[in-house]
């Protein structure tokens, strides 16, 4: 049990900016097994976003409350996944071959593809969440937020399990995730990733899950075709696209 707690807190440290107890320590083995709790981190981050949204909605218009909830999740993760999405937009948008794509993604500067991509993605996510409140009502909006964050992180975990990590430099911030996951570890991630979905209407959540699955398959196919596998930025991009796909899938079901 203590070892599993260490793995969880290692995931919490790696994927968020939330505090971790000092007794946990910091070892390579912990990081190598942290991905199994990626979806559980999603439940936590989604819960933060849902809580801030619901509290803000008590005194502010819904649109502002949703925006504050989104800002809370970005603060909690340090824009970890949004940064990966931005780098992916620049890399795949501006690179012609694998070497160029990887070089651009490594560049800390932000290009036009990243600026436009992140702006459109956040705007679409905000609009989808405000529409979900009208379709589902406040209690289900909070549940949708938690489920969307959990499922989208499961989508990223699936890439770790099935695809090859394509960077070979030790300076990569996502190098610890390059370790192949065991089937049991993927099962743990799937458990936490799908658990919040049980709280949503079955027919609607199945449509949303189908949208996430389609987005994940298309992303995996694209990454393999362009660079032969995934990078840490690809995982961040998949999480962002998967989260948005989940919300859009729910909207399609209610539409």
* 157 CB burial (10 A radius; 0-12, 13-18, 19+): buried
Q: What is the reported pTM? A: 0.94
Domain that holds residue 110: 2-254
The stretch 110-122 carries a mean pLDDT of 96
The stretch 33-56 carries a mean pLDDT of 96
> For residues 108-127, b (16+ Cβ closer than 10 Å) or e, as one string?
eeebebbeebbeebbeebee
2 pLDDT band (50/70/90 cuts)? Answer: confident
Q: Which of 33-37, 160-164, 237-241, 251-255 has the lowest mean pLDDT?
A: 251-255
- DSSP letters of 198-244? GGS-HHHHHHHHHHHHHHHHHHHHHHHHHHSSB-HHHHHHHHHHHHH
For residue 233 the two structure tokens come to: 């930025």
23 pLDDT band (50/70/90 cuts)? Answer: confident
Percentage of residues in the chain with pLDDT exceeding 70?
Answer: 94
Domain count, the chain: 1
25 sits in the region (left: phi over 0; alpha: psi -120 to 50; else beta) called left
């Amino acid at each position: 049990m203590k070892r599993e707690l260490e793995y969880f807190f290692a995931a919490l440290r790696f994927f968020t900016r939330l505090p971790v107890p000092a007794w946990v320590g910091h070892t390579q083995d912990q990081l190598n097994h942290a991905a199994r709790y990626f979806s559980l981190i999603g439940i936590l981050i989604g819960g933060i976003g849902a809580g801030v949204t619901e509290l803000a909605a008590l005194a502010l218009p819904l649109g502002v409350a949703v925006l504050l909830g989104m800002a809370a999740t970005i603060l909690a993760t340090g824009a970890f996944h949004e940064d990966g999405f931005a780098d992916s937009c620049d890399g795949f948008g501006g690179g012609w071959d694998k070497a160029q794509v990887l070089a651009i993604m490594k560049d800390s500067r932000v290009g036009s593809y990243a600026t436009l991509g992140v702006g459109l993605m956040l705007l679409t996510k905000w609009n989808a969440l405000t529409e979900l409140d009208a379709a589902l009502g406040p209690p289900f909006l909070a549940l949708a937020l938690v489920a969307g964050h959990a499922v989208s992180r499961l989508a990223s975990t699936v890439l770790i399990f099935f695809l090859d990590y394509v960077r070979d430099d030790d300076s990569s911030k996502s190098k610890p995730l390059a370790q192949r996951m065991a089937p049991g570890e993927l099962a743990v991630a799937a458990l936490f990733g799908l658990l919040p979905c049980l709280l949503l209407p079955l027919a609607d959540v199945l449509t949303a899950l189908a949208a996430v699955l389609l987005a994940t398959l298309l992303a995996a196919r694209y990454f393999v075709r362009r660079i032969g596998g995934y990078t840490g930025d690809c995982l961040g991009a998949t999480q962002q696209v998967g989260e948005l796909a989940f919300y859009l899938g729910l909207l399609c079901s209610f539409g």
